[in-house]
Structure 1
Amino acid sequence: MLLIFGVSDKREDLGPGQTRTCPRCGNTTVWARIRTSRRFTLFFIPIIRWGRQELEVCTICGEAVAG
């Protein structure tokens, strides 16, 4: 029997976040809000999801902080 399974990261865009000054690059901009999680798939169907967290990400350098 052939089983096709895998573990992958999922990233969802939640829209614009707050206007912040980035501690890494020093630019002030509107950050993007995202939700990330890891998931186990079986035959390309998500079975289990874990490690869900919401973050705000600098749109210039990619620095992320808990939102």
Structure 2
Amino acid sequence: MSTTTPDESRSSDDHCTPDALLHSAPSQGVTPEDLAMAAGRDVTPKNLDWARRKLETDPKAVEKLMP
């Protein structure tokens, strides 16, 4: 038994979401809060200090955390 749906039975609004709508980037620079959250850390003063230092030495640090 096939689980595919023939094109004729699909609704007219059934389509793929464009890639540009699935991925976003900040319109401004990455903040220490962004980096802390991307690293899976709580937003605490200690983690924000870590993130600030990390961004100073590696501005693309958050990109390295993303798959």
- TM-score in terms of structure 1 length: 0.22
Structure 1 or 2, whichever has the larger Rg, is 2
Q: Which has the higher contact order (CA 8 A, sep 6+)?
A: 1
More helix by share: 2
